[in-house]
Structure 1
Amino acid sequence: MRIFTALFIFFISLTIWANDKYETSKINCILQSNYNNKTIDELKRILVEQSKREALEELYGTTILSKTDVLNGKLVTDEIKQKAVGSVRLKGNPEFYNGENFGEICSKVHVYITKKDLEKYSPKSVILNNFCFNDTSITLKDLKQKAKEKAYIEMITRFKPEFKDIKLLDAKKYIHKFIISNETFDTKKESYCFDARGDILPHELELTDISSIKSNKDNGLYVSFFKKSDYGLQNEIFDTKLKKDLSLFNENFTNDILKKEKVYVIRISGYLYSERIIHKKFKLESDVNNATLKINNSVVLTKKNPIGGITLDLGFNKIEMIINSKNAYDIKLLEKQKNNIYSPIKLENLYTRKSK
């Protein structure tokens, strides 16, 4: 007597193309003993779904099985498979019968997809002709890298205009087989130009919640105000969202509530977004009593040591500044540029929370 310790599966398949459809047949068997609490109807549904999943690579090719990124805590492969299985249709009624082994139930299922279904999972090429980018504040090497990054975003936007606010970190994920040709540098305009080609898989964009990739959704920083006696910073007198760079920070102190209270501690918190792993220098200009800036929980600078640097991670970097002051709140938080000049951190790179 044979002993089966795991799910036993075998299948026979045949794929044909007819009338704008891909068709295939699958035979599967499972042991009822592996599904003790399932009814016959439930076992039949398991067999049908199993046949559909096994048909995916045969019907769609390997594209939908090769993605292994994690999105919202789930493997993208599983998300893609689940969506693709929903497009696999039954042709006729499935056949169910007892297998050769004891307690074995089998099915023969005919399934198909349409040409339109297949197109969703086929790569689409996007071409940029004479795409140009210029930035006089960075080196030529950095200019080339920045131009390529902007090209990623341009490709996504041209393919799907509603993704125009997509961030670089997201755009990179959706461009495949990126190729550049015919590179030129216009010395008069200080522009780097080239032709580019890249592939986009439409089903990857369909899995993306567009509201989570808009770059301006959560721009700004949170600012909270506390009394001097609130050592644990637990009870805000008032909090607000900073929508401008920190050089205009004192505008937040026009609030009537703050005028009546003895504000002494201010906490600024949020995230600094970086498009790459890069070492950055920051500078604090202020007339406050004391201030400490932390990025990713590491102290970067203080009132006594107002210039400091840190290597930013790719993506969102946690930022927090604690300020102590009685009546002076003129604060400027600056970052060093390529030309060695310090300027305010751009609002587009500051976020109140991770936006995905």
Structure 2
Amino acid sequence: MRNIRKLACIPLLACTAGAHAQSSVTLYGIIDEGVTYTNNQKGGSTWQVTQGNYAGSRWGFKGSEDLGGGTRAIFTLENGFNPSNGAALQAGRLFGRSAWVGLANETYGSLTFGRQYNSVEDYLTFEQAASNGALGAFANSVYDNDDLNNTYRSQNSVKYTSPTLRGLTVEGLYGFSNQPGAFAQNRTWSVGADYSNGPLRLDAAYAHLSAPGSTAGGAIASDNYYSTASSIIANVKDNRVFGAGGSWTFGPATLAVLYTNAQFDILTGGSLHFANYQINGRWLVTPAWQVAAGYIYTSQDSTSASYTNAHYHQLTLGTNYFLSKRTDVYLSAGIQRASGANAWFTNLGAPSSNNHQIVITAGLRNKF
């Protein structure tokens, strides 16, 4: 990252020559690109150039203006893009990953408005296998059913985050439907808590989505929710997600466990329910080289005629090596075996034609 100060000459950011000396804007980003082999997608093996294997490619601006008395104006604008073809992600949005503005105070916490992450995405990601640093996107739960791979964001939302007191931080978010006469149609709310004390970290969160994806302008946009192009999840009337986890760091190693639970009530009747149990660990062999392993067991239970019951076992191994503070190379491999369903790794474009799937990816990531 690099700070860009005294931005009076850039009209886009509406800065002036009299900007406060303690105000700043940061330009930052990640470009992640690699090659992925899959043994079975729709019945055949594939070699593909893939992006976002370890971190979603992005660029953005973060800003802060000192208003005095311990209060700051803050904002983030973050774009997601595909370096393979230059296209914008998140259904083509200019700032589809994040777009929010707010106020932050050292004593009272922060209040932000816009397109944001909910509490499940903010807090449970600390313990998930895909975020442990050396495993990558193929260590997410099947279909990203718990949304820890950020299938959707919360629009029209207001989020409060408390200051950290004795290691404890809490937050709450409410996303409005923005529909006259339909206040409860396509709205969302979430709550979460994080506790950090030395080597110990504990997190818990809950999110509720009412009629998600039913409109384009609601809290969960119709073009940025689950679809049959990337999962079996569709026609959702109500969606609830909760989870809890913890991690412990001892010397160069970190061990984490996480439980998440996602329920989708279906418009045609019944529900689709997922329970995910995962454990993952990371070891810093040297300050520049780390290795990791993660395992996820998922049970899929259905009371809807549209779905069946199934079970998934998923193991991922990975490593990355930092060539510098900003650039690393990575290699990961995963295997998923299903019972009662076809295997399908999250982030792959198609399912296996049978009950197992193997994926291997190698690539390069640069941060700026």
Q: TM-score surpassing 0.5?
A: no
- Which TM-score band (shorter chain)? under 0.3
Query: Which fold has the larger relative contact order, with Cα–Cα distance below 8 Å and residues 6 or more apart in sequence?
Result: 2
TM-score of the pair, normalised by structure 2 = 0.22
TM-score of the pair, normalised by structure 1 = 0.22
Higher strand share goes to which structure? 2
Larger Rg: 1
Higher helix share goes to which structure? 1
